[in-house]
A and B are shown apart, each in its own frame.
Chain A
Amino acid sequence: MIEVSGLHKSFGSHHVLRGVDLLVEDGQSMVVIGGSGSGKSVLIKHIIGLLKPDKGSVFVDGEDITGLDARHLYEVRRKFGMLFQGAALFDSMTVWENVSFALTRSGMKPKEAKEVAIEKLRLVGLSGIEDLMPSELSGGMRKRVGLARAIAHQPQILLYDEPTTGIDPIMADAINDLIIKMREELNVTSVAITHDMQSAYKIAGRIAFLYEGNIIESGTPDEIKSTSNPYTKQFITGSAQGPIKIEGVELKRA
């Protein structure tokens, strides 16, 4: 279970998160939606302890991780797998070494680790690329290798930062299916960030909308679809007209 409570984070004078509360039950699939630059990536990095909050706490299975020392934090992180928005593959290693990194670090023999890596790569729709370097892959392929790396050590909690962005629609749907399968078969708890509403409706157990540093609405996909909140409504229908103003863009329409 993940519980974020009263989370505040500023960078300089830029107050990005302003008291975020979020509860993700075990086995639940939470999708966080929100505009570009609204702090979704910042939020997900707090959940795995990459950023320290200015105020507020993050509980993972009841344990407050914000005050943990490095050694304990690494223990807690073994429960997690994370897909970064930019994939964050290690560019000094081959694809399979990337995927099996956590496994070889915890003592698995390279031969066995490579087999596991190949199997995970197949799960994300990639084959025959295990010996390539990350620089030889396309953006969408890198994303999927990042996903394979995140699930390789069979974590209980998965964090996906825009898993389907930059991937063609058919493959994106396959990724959605994979995320659903992870939840149904392995009962993982997950937090996914996305802009892609179609994907959000498909994979979410609950959807939370992050706006101006707060979760202003959360609910099941059906509740969100039939929301009466004008901000949420504007966001999910993807309209430039509405209460959410886009700075610097003049909207003229006859």
Chain B
Amino acid sequence: MPGGPSLYRLLEFLGSACIRFTRTLGSVLILFAETLKEMLFPPFEIKNTFKQMQEVGIKSVPVVIITAVFTGMVLAFQTFTGFKRFGAEALVGTVVALSMTREMGPVLTGLVVAGRAGAAMAAELGTMRVTEQIDALETLSTSPVKYLIVPRFVASMIMLPCLTIIADMLGILGGYAIAVWLYGMSSALYWRRAWNYLEMNDIYGGLAKACFFGAAIAIVCCYRGFYTEGGAEGVGKATTGAVVMSFMTILISDYFLGAWLLK
């Protein structure tokens, strides 16, 4: 049979990739279920949660601001020059407002937080795993899921929408700066166009996505950190793996969530 062995090998490769994917997905979901369970029973890790809210939220503000402002500026710039070709440059405000609230705000915030706080979560938990600190928690009758993962999960789920609100506002302001100051559009027109076509649903849908991204980043990154093996090298792998996995999760789920929430 011509090409038999290589076809066979291809199928084998695809099959084992599928099995690996399913197994990872299953373990992530199990960790997620355990996190929810531990979250609902006292004691509640209030102090740790606030500390994580600071790590995930407050410390991400500067990067989120810069990302959002420049994204808004780029959107305004590209829309203005592009739409001018068919005389529709007055719609800059609308394009910036809709893009930021529905897509750019939540997705970019998610990516920024995944790269910053998510990587830190994986590295921190990974280090704690390889230096047996997670085992030590167990011996001191403390559930590592409750003590380490629940606070990160809650903090990330709360802070992502907050950061997204900041990103939405600053993106729209960045667009304003370009449209009004650079291209001399009237300020009233920019705001009118931005507001007129913006529905509350756009904002809520975006925030709901952000909330989902927050939960997904925390679970994926904690999962990679929690099950780290193989010393310092393993921690490195867990960290990059966590970031890649979060990015994929955000970008893929964004499409499906968008199609469902923001029709």
Q: Interface on A for B, CB 8 Å cutoff?
A: 45, 48-50, 70, 74-75, 77-78, 80-82, 84, 86, 88-91, 101-102, 105, 149, 153
Q: State A250–B11 Cα separation when bound (angstroms).
A: 47
B150 to chain A, nearest CB (A): 14
B136: A residues at CB distance < 8 A: 82, 84, 88-90
In the complex, the answer to whether B133 meets A88 with C-beta atoms within 8 Å is: yes
Instruction: Classify chain B's interface size.
Output: 10 to 19
B139: A residues at CB distance < 8 A: 48, 50, 77, 80-82
- Minimum CB distance partner of B137 in chain A: A90
Q: State A105–B141 Cα separation when bound (angstroms).
A: 9
In the complex, the answer to whether A101 meets B143 with C-beta atoms within 8 Å is: no
In the complex, the answer to whether A86 meets B131 with C-beta atoms within 8 Å is: yes
Q: Any chain A CB within 8 A of the CB of B138?
A: yes
In the complex, the answer to whether B133 meets A77 with C-beta atoms within 8 Å is: no
Q: Which of B49-97 contact A (CB under 8 A)?
A: none
Which of A75, A77, A149 is in CB contact (< 8 Å) with B138?
A: A77
- Minimum CB distance partner of A85 in chain B: B132
A12 to chain B, nearest CB (A): 11
Q: Interface on B for A, CB 8 Å cutoff?
A: 127-128, 131-133, 135-143
Q: State A74–B128 Cα separation when bound (angstroms).
A: 19
In the complex, the answer to whether B142 meets A105 with C-beta atoms within 8 Å is: yes
B140 to chain A, nearest CB (A): 5
Q: How many A-B residue pairs have CB under 8 A?
A: 48
B34 to chain A, nearest CB (A): 9
A22 to chain B, nearest CB (A): 19
- Minimum CB distance partner of B141 in chain A: A74
Which of A75, A78, A81, A84 is in CB contact (< 8 Å) with B135?
A: A84
Q: State A26–B132 Cα separation when bound (angstroms).
A: 28
In the complex, the answer to whether B133 meets A89 with C-beta atoms within 8 Å is: yes
Which of A45, A80, A81, A90 is in CB contact (< 8 Å) with B133?
A: A90
A24 to chain B, nearest CB (A): 17
Which of B127, B135, B142 is in CB contact (< 8 Å) with A45?
A: B135
A40 to chain B, nearest CB (A): 15
In the complex, the answer to whether B143 meets A70 with C-beta atoms within 8 Å is: yes
In the complex, the answer to whether A86 meets B132 with C-beta atoms within 8 Å is: yes
A102: B residues at CB distance < 8 A: 140-141
Q: State A149–B140 Cα separation when bound (angstroms).
A: 9
B137 to chain A, nearest CB (A): 8
B138 to chain A, nearest CB (A): 6
Which of A70, A78, A84, A101 is in CB contact (< 8 Å) with B132?
A: A84
- Minimum CB distance partner of B145 in chain A: A70
Please indicate which of the listed interface residues B127, B131, B132, B135 has the most CB atoms of chain A within 10 Å of its own CB. B132
B131 to chain A, nearest CB (A): 6
A215 to chain B, nearest CB (A): 23
B231 to chain A, nearest CB (A): 12
Nearest first, the 3 closest Cβ-Cβ pairs linking A and B are: A88-B132, A88-B136, A74-B141
- Minimum CB distance partner of B41 in chain A: A71
Q: State A74–B43 Cα separation when bound (angstroms).
A: 14
Q: State A67–B250 Cα separation when bound (angstroms).
A: 38
Q: State A34–B55 Cα separation when bound (angstroms).
A: 45
A5 to chain B, nearest CB (A): 22
A172 to chain B, nearest CB (A): 22
A71 to chain B, nearest CB (A): 9
